[in-house]
Structure 1
Amino acid sequence: MAYWLFKSEPDVFGIRHLRARPEQTEPWDGVRNYQARNFLRDEVSAGDKLFFYHSSCKQVGIAGVAEVVRAAYPDPSQFNPESDYYDPKATTASPRWYCVDVRFCEQFKQVLSLARIKAMPQITELGLVKKGHRLSVMPVTIDEWQHLYTAAGETL
């Protein structure tokens, strides 16, 4: 099992949306960054855990936990001309973009804020706290996961 941090804007799709979905499961689609795509396609696996991170909002930070329940498959939105994520260069024979399915695990009572994460001495290598790192999908080490999860529990 690996650990990840997936970013989303909560007014578009937040952890409360995932929690409300049938079977609390939804495709994580619309990723249009090649490095993030490569993580989804090549490294994210069913059974992996992820922090659900809210970005571009008032309370930026980790909002909860989800689990990957289906490994990478071609993102259907790339083939739909009416989608914001349509890619005319993508074909079913040669897809460019991938998604995974995630299932809700838990929502924290309070968001673990980015400011608090940045203040944690154990969290210095995570892309989230480094300047210029804006990936929407990034790996989290087991040590980082444990420190962040523990800190989220302390906010309850």
Structure 2
Amino acid sequence: MVMDYLKRRAEEKCSEPHLECPEWVSSKNASFRAWQYVEQLRNEKALYIKRHDKAKDFSKKGAYLIKGSEVAAALGVSRASLNNTSNYSPYFRRYLNEVNAELEVAKEEKLKKAKKEPSRGSIRSSKSQLFTANTELKRKICELEAKKVEELVLYAFDQLPLPVKKKLGLD
């Protein structure tokens, strides 16, 4: 049973589409490692954008954008060779600019959405949704109270002794 599960997971992992490298990426130089690192950072920065919705969270561009120097430092490569002097440098810079443009657009959309729906703390619903839910709940409470009163009256009549029921004409 466990082996079947593990085999199925392995097959699913193999069937997942792998990221296609751009033409300028080569495993013979630092371009492949740089491209992989930028893809990893792209996912991290996108997650940061997804989890934050205040303008002050984006006051530092390093929180949501990727710098070439950051990539170079992480790979232990010279910033100049990565960004300027290598054969792949123009392609890498163009790719990095495209990724940063995507992240910038995602940030702007997130801020626009946050501005349209201002935060109300832990309250997730809008005021109109809360108002309709409140009126519906009040109506249900009134129905339940009326039903409860009816049940209590019937219970009281059931508890009356037989002679009293006969005098009242309920029997």
Whether these two folds match at TM > 0.5 is no
Larger Rg: 2
- Structure 1 length-normalised TM: 0.18
- Select the structure that is richer in strand: 1
Ranked by relative contact order (alpha carbons within 8 Å, sequence separation 6 or more), the top structure is 1
- Structure 2 length-normalised TM: 0.17
